[in-house]
């Protein structure tokens, strides 16, 4: 799974998205990773807001699925990291995460 992410997907992602995906991939046990956004932020070198943004972008791209949304008195969230996303459409889509405005 890591090889597919590095070989196929990683070049189109920004640094924060890559860091969040790698932290969650590292924490994956039995198919899911359990982590608070604060813990992900600390380990990825991001702010909590940066983690939220990266999680949303990864979910939109089909590279991450939140299987349980944690919160106050509910524990930590659980995520499933996905190495390569299914194509969203046959049209070329702009990637807003890339600074150079590249395409997917």
Question: At the topology level of CATH, where does 2-81 sit?
Answer: Arc Repressor Mutant, subunit A (1.10.10)
> Mean pLDDT in each 10-residue stretch from start to end of the chain (104 residues)?
86 95 96 95 98 97 93 91 67 50 53
pTM of the prediction? 0.76
Domain locations in the chain? 2-81
Q: Give the pLDDT score at 1.
A: 81
Residue 92 CA to residue 77 CA, distance in Å, equals 32
pLDDT at position 46: 98
Please tell me the predicted confidence (pLDDT) of residue 36. 94
DSSP per position, 7-75: IIIGGGS-HHHHHHHHHHHHH-BTTBEEE-HHHHHHHHT--HHHHHHHHHHHHHTTSEEEEE--BTTTB
């Amino acid at each position: 799974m890591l090889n597919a992410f590095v070989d196929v997907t990683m070049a189109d992602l920004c640094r924060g998205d890559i860091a969040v995906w790698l932290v969650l991939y590292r924490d994956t046990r039995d198919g899911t990773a359990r982590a608070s956004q604060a813990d992900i932020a600390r380990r990825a070198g991001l702010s909590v807001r940066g983690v939220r943004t990266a999680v949303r972008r990864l979910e939109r791209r089909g590279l991450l699925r939140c299987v349980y949304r944690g919160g106050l008195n509910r524990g930590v969230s659980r995520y499933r990291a996905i190495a390569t996303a299914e194509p969203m459409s046959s049209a070329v889509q702009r990637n807003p995460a890339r600074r150079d405005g590249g395409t997917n």
